[in-house]
Amino acid sequence: MNVQFHCSIVQTRESAMDPLTEILGEMRIRQATFTRLDATAPWAFESSGDPVVKFVLVVRGVGVLTTATHPDPIPLRGGDVFIMLDSEPYRMYDREDSLPMDCVDVEKLRVGNRIEVGGGGALTTFISGFFEMDTLEARPLVNVMPPLLHLKLEQNRSLAFQSVLELLAAETEAPGLGSEAVVNRLFELLFVHAIRAYSAQPDGPAHGWLAAVSDRQLARAIEAMHAEPARDWTVDALARVSGMSRSAFAARFRAVVGQAPFDYLTRWRVYRASRLIQQHGASLAEAARSVGYDSAAAFNRAFKKEVGVTPGAFRRSAVSALPAG
């Protein structure tokens, strides 16, 4: 499914928010598919990979996950969640010697939103969800998240996160009126809580804006740039916002975020401009001005460097993708 982020044309300091809230605040999932899969031993599935985001919650039982880049077995048990953001091949099984079924063949066993498969032995139940993300929309998030995120039951998990998981399990066990819409919203919440959980882990993000917003001083600068992208920011001004000296701020920002403050600001400006064009139909001049570019030439250069195409080509592509009528 596509994930849409709806952003206002003008954003003031009074409406400042952290980047994750801004990116995910109005996320809407479309064309979601979810499955409650009961697998009885022996069982094994393999997939050549799909360009979708994959959520899997282990409701009960145990299993093992391997992927092309994580060939070492990853044990799974009831309460675990994993999220895959890329399209690499993967395999899940109860035992190494279990004969795998292709996921295409597993899908043929679907009855509504449920699938039963396996040899009749011990039961393992999964809830899985799949959706697509627009490449450009997802870029700020994908850039700071690992391709595979495994959240174990025994790791510290907020009450809210656990409640979402329990609601998801209950809704797929006994679907009611509007169940598909309910599950879609729960997957949205699951996505947000999973990112929160990852960012709170000791071995969580070490670099990028997700790491920076956990730094009390750098977070002030990040939030300021997001709140006022059109402002004529300087390193000195951002250092003052952070309560640091210019040299200390510049060094820490580069070490944590992985790029200089102005490079980060340029990337965010282009992202915001692209969203205004794509989601709100803003003209190129409106989009450029809203993120601080008075020069069309400077906007074109920055946009093409980040996106790979000129703003005009991007806008034409966005308009042609709109539904007719």
Q: Are 114 and 35 in contact (CB under 8 A)?
A: yes
- State the residue for tokens 């006022």: 228
User: CA 139: distance to chain centroid?
Assistant: 9
Cβ burial of 295 (10 Å; 0-12, 13-18, 19+) is exposed
Mean pLDDT value across residues 187-196: 83
Q: Kindly state whether residues 171 and 222 are assigned to the same domain.
A: no
- For the cut 60, the answer to whether the pLDDT of residue 232 exceeds it is yes
pLDDT at residue 222, rounded to an integer: 93
d(CA 242, CA 218): 6
Kindly report which listed range (82-96, 198-212, 299-313) carries the lowest average pLDDT score: 198-212
Residue 66 forms part of a structural domain: yes
pLDDT at residue 25, rounded to an integer: 60
Residue 8 forms part of a structural domain: no
Choose one of 200, 222, 243: the last residue of a domain. Answer: 200
Residue 189 forms part of a structural domain: yes
Q: Which CATH number is 121's domain given?
A: 2.60.120.280
Q: Kindly state whether residues 104 and 121 are assigned to the same domain.
A: yes
Q: Kindly state whether residues 127 and 88 are assigned to the same domain.
A: yes
Q: Kindly state whether residues 290 and 152 are assigned to the same domain.
A: no
Residue 14 forms part of a structural domain: no
- For the cut 90, the answer to whether the pLDDT of residue 259 exceeds it is yes
Q: Kindly state whether residues 41 and 166 are assigned to the same domain.
A: yes
Chain mean pLDDT for the chain: 86
Q: Are 235 and 262 in contact (CB under 8 A)?
A: yes
Per-residue 3-state assignment (H helix, E strand, C coil) for 170-215: HHHHCCCCCHHHHHHHHHHHHHHHHHHHHHHCCCCCCCCHHHHCCC
Q: Kindly state whether residues 38 and 77 are assigned to the same domain.
A: yes
Mean pLDDT value across residues 95-115: 94
- pTM of the entire predicted model: 0.76
Per-residue 3-state assignment (H helix, E strand, C coil) for the chain: CCEECCCCCCCCHHHCCCHHHHHHCCCEECCCEEEEEEEECCCEEEECCCCCEEEEEEEECEEEEEECCCCCCEEEECCCEEEECCCCCEEEECCCCCCCEEHHHHHCCCECCEEEEECCCCEEEEEEEEECCCHHHHHHHHCCCCCEEEECCCCCCCHHHHHHHHHHHHHHHCCCCCHHHHHHHHHHHHHHHHHHHHHHCCCCCCCCHHHHCCCHHHHHHHHHHHHCCCCCCCHHHHHHHHCCCHHHHHHHHHHHHCCCHHHHHHHHHHHHHHHHHHHHCCCHHHHHHHCCCCCHHHHHHHHHHHHCCCHHHHHHHHHHCCCCC
Among 110, 89, 113, 118, smallest CA distance to 180 is for 113
As given in the structure block, the two tokens for residue 41 are 């031993």
Q: Kindly state whether residues 225 and 285 are assigned to the same domain.
A: yes
Residue 219 forms part of a structural domain: yes
In the chain, pLDDT over 90 holds for what percent of residues?
53
Residue 138: CB atoms within 10 A of its CB come to 18
Residue 232: CB atoms within 10 A of its CB come to 7
Q: Count of domains in the chain?
A: 2
Choose one of 158, 174, 200: the last residue of a domain. Answer: 200
pLDDT of 25-35, one tens digit each?
A: 655 666 678 89
- State the residue for tokens 């700020």: 140
Residue 151 forms part of a structural domain: yes
Residue 5 forms part of a structural domain: no
Residue 22 forms part of a structural domain: no
Q: Kindly state whether residues 170 and 266 are assigned to the same domain.
A: no
- For the cut 90, the answer to whether the pLDDT of residue 92 exceeds it is yes
pLDDT of 141-157, one tens digit each?
A: 777 888 899 988 876 67
Choose one of 167, 200, 233: the last residue of a domain. Answer: 200
Q: Kindly state whether residues 192 and 216 are assigned to the same domain.
A: no
Structural domain for 274, as ranges? 209-320
Q: Kindly state whether residues 132 and 216 are assigned to the same domain.
A: no
Q: Kindly state whether residues 220 and 259 are assigned to the same domain.
A: yes
Q: Kindly state whether residues 40 and 127 are assigned to the same domain.
A: yes
Q: Which CATH number is 279's domain given?
A: 1.10.10.60
